[in-house]
Structures are given as C-alpha cells and as structure tokens.
Copies of this chain bind each other. A is one copy, B any other.
C-alpha cells in the first residue's frame, strides 16, 4: 500500500488537492482530500508536486531488428528509462517478417517483452495482404488483446504496403473495431529521391532530409486520410512532423472524419539544421524518419496540440549506438533510422509546452497520457486518476529543473539527442502499479514487473 500525501492531482479534466491511496493490487483505492495513513502503509510525500497519470508512450521500438541492426534499448532497459522520466506504459510495435505470420510475430514479441519493467501493449504491423493476414487480424483482436495495427507507407521493398493493402487492412480493422495507425511517407518518392541523391554523390546525413522532404509526408497523410474516408473508418497517423500533414488531419476532422495525429517532442525542438553538423556521427545520430524539418513546421505541430487536432505525443524511441550508425558512414540510406527519447518526453513537453504558456497542465496530461489511453482503449485503466484505475502515477515537480545528459540518463544507448538541454519540469517520483519505482534519482525497477495490457476493440468510431 502506498499513501501519496499532500499533492495536487492533475488530470486531463482538472486540478485539485487530494491524497491518493494505492492498494496492493496496484490500483488506486481511494482519492480524498485528507486520507489517514493506514497502518503499515508507505507514505510518499507529494507536497509541492503535481500528481499526474503516468505517461503513456504509444510509439516505441524496443530491441527492434531494423536495417540490419537491433535497437539497443530492450524491453527492460527501455521501460526502465521510461519510468525514470515518468512514463509508465508503452505501446510497442510487433513487426512480422516479410510475408510472415502476424500471430507468430506477436508471440515472439510477447516473449521479448516479458523482461519489461513497466506495462506494455502492442500494435501489430500489417506488411502484406492475404487470407492469413485477414484471419490473424481477427485472432489478434478477439483473442490477443490487440486493437490497433500499423502500416508503413514508406520503406519500399521492406515494410511498405501499397494502397490496396491499406484499404484491405483498414476495412478489416474497421469491422473488428480496431484502429489503423500509419507511418505516412511516400515510399516510392523516398526511394526515388535516395537514388537520385546517391547518384549525385550526396552520401552524407545532410542528404537524409532532402530524400524525404515535407511534401513526401504531406502527400502520404493526405492519401491515407482519403483511403480511410472511402471506408468511413478512423485512422491514426504516427509522428506527424509537417504543417502539410497537420493541416490535412485538421481539414479531414472538419469534414467529419475521425483522424488522429501523434507528435514527437524531437520534431517540436529540432530543425533540419542538425543534419549539417560537420561531425558525421553527430549528424547521423539525428537520422530518423520523418526527419527534422524547417522550423516553421514546429508552429503547426504546437498549434495542432493546442487546438486538439493532434492528440498524442510519443517518442518513436529506437536506439542505435555509434557502431550501428556507422553502417551508413558511406551511404546515408544505411544509417539505422531512429533516435532515443523515452526518458525525456515528459520533461521536453513540459518545458517547451507548459512552461512557455502554450499548454495548460491539464492539456499536458491529455497529450502525454489520457488521450493516448482513450484512443488506444486503455482508458480509464490507464491515463486516468480514479478509484479503480491502475496506480501509474508521476509526481511532477513543475518548478524543478534538470540538465539532460547521456551520462546520467538510463537509456541503453551512447548518446542523448537532448544532451546539455536544461529543462524545467522534472519527474520526481514515479509509481508503477502501486510501487514507487523512481524516487528522485533512485531507480528501483524490477525486471519483468511489467504486465501485458490487453486492449479490447473499440467497436465504434473513436472520439477525442
């Protein structure tokens, strides 16, 4: 049992002074202004702190095999780092082998994830279409607690699907009450631009953003929205990084379509100039897709979050160390795409979002946790502070500050993209399933403590 005492609860709805009592089953047992500490109950001092739902990161790639490497943060180290930053749940991606079984892949990922320190769920990628995929989607939704699928419009000759596969999958998912998520970049265009740039001798990381300009994302977002619209089905676009895609989402919503968009904090704070760093490795470490953009796109992403037209934030956490990034030393298209960040998402968003006045604390909770829980049907178990909900909480020091560094963070990768950035807004304590797992610098995680969170189908159009 845990008695969180003296804090100010902040939900997506409101803020109020209250204590919280967590029971031994890992749930919130009681919320009341003044709770008498039960005998034998541990007391966590929340004085001066905000008590918020733990962050949910709906886009991570722990130990993912990708581009000839395997992401260096595994389910244990990655979720542990998340807990240190106030993130108490992740939704990771099951990526079947080319032509392979979705179900087998899901089983394999379930196994890999058993070491997780925090709760987790899965999206499953659909990378081709046949009757088996159709059947597996049914099994995953009805028997395995999977209620969202992932599609790549990029990565030609690898994960990419064409519009026909998208249509089949969106319709199948719609019938199952599941949600389709999409990496929206035009893979044909990326492949074309990559070949063109390489042919021109552009082999360095500075060619990376040129190979996937904003139009490439805007076009794909527009397209998948059109396809989903044909089937009157909802769609969720991961890592929206451009004004074009943000506007396409907003326009679709104003036509009555249920479209959702996710933003990564790194797109809010970095711009494409990072790829011009004269140090190859430094530049290569920023290589992810979609790439960082000219600065004016950031304004559109913030406005999207402020207006509710973009609903969630995630990290696309995908770690590759120097040796892995080196694979692309002579050819930028071989640099493993990915950046770390699960530990710092909450701080970056608070610092740049709340401390600057763009967002309220309630909106911060919405975009880091509650909206995600709703859209992916983990609400009110997750993303909510209510009696009966999972006791996944972060005790937030709104005035505290810290300087981000790979030397002090817990991610299993040899750099931090935010290195040296001092941010206001710090996760002082994190409670996962009712247990204090992060106590102001002291990380007390347990390998395997994380639980698989099955998610039921939504069975209807989503609403956020």
Known: A362-B463, A380-B14. A215 touches B229 (CB 8 A): yes
Contact with B along A119-140 (1 / 0, CB 8 A): 0000000000000000000000
User: Are the CB atoms of B188 and A216 closer together than 8 Å?
Assistant: no
Contact with B along A449-464 (1 / 0, CB 8 A): 0000000000011011
A334–B135 alpha-carbon span in the complex (Å):
31
A186 at the interface (CB under 8 A from B): yes
Known: A254-B246, A306-B253, A384-B14. A189 touches B163 (CB 8 A): yes
- With a cutoff of 8 Å between Cβ atoms, the chain B residues found around residue A193 in the complex are 230
The residue of chain B having its C-beta at the shortest distance from the C-beta of A223 within the complex is B219
User: Are the CB atoms of B254 and A250 closer together than 8 Å?
Assistant: yes
A216–B7 alpha-carbon span in the complex (Å):
46
Closest approach, in angstroms, between the C-beta of A10 and any C-beta of chain B? Answer: 12
A60-68, A295-303, A432-440 - the one binding chain B: A295-303
User: Are the CB atoms of B254 and A307 closer together than 8 Å?
Assistant: yes
A24–B331 alpha-carbon span in the complex (Å):
65
- With a cutoff of 8 Å between Cβ atoms, the chain B residues found around residue A37 in the complex are none
Contact with B along A210-229 (1 / 0, CB 8 A): 00010110110011001101
List A335-379 residues whose CB lies under 8 Å from chain B: 357-360, 362-363, 370, 379
User: Are the CB atoms of B12 and A309 closer together than 8 Å?
Assistant: no
Closest approach, in angstroms, between the C-beta of A461 and any C-beta of chain B? Answer: 7
Closest approach, in angstroms, between the C-beta of A358 and any C-beta of chain B? Answer: 8
User: Are the CB atoms of B299 and A256 closer together than 8 Å?
Assistant: yes
Closest approach, in angstroms, between the C-beta of A185 and any C-beta of chain B? Answer: 11
- With a cutoff of 8 Å between Cβ atoms, the chain B residues found around residue A370 in the complex are 13
In the complex, which of the residues A258, A306, A362, A370 has the most CB atoms of chain B within 10 Å of its own CB atom?
A306
Can you list 22 A-B contacts with CB-CB less than 8 angstroms, sorted by A residue number? A11-B13, A14-B386, A162-B162, A163-B186, A163-B188, A163-B192, A164-B188, A167-B192, A186-B227, A189-B226, A215-B230, A219-B222, A222-B222, A222-B223, A223-B223, A246-B254, A253-B303, A256-B306, A357-B460, A359-B463, A360-B463, A362-B463
10 A-B pairs with least C-beta separation: A253-B307, A163-B188, A256-B303, A219-B226, A164-B188, A167-B192, A308-B308, A360-B463, A14-B380, A215-B226
Q: A162-B162, A362-B463 are in contact. List 11 more A-B contacts (CB 8 A).
A: A13-B380, A14-B379, A16-B386, A32-B387, A156-B164, A163-B192, A250-B250, A253-B306, A255-B299, A258-B306, A357-B460
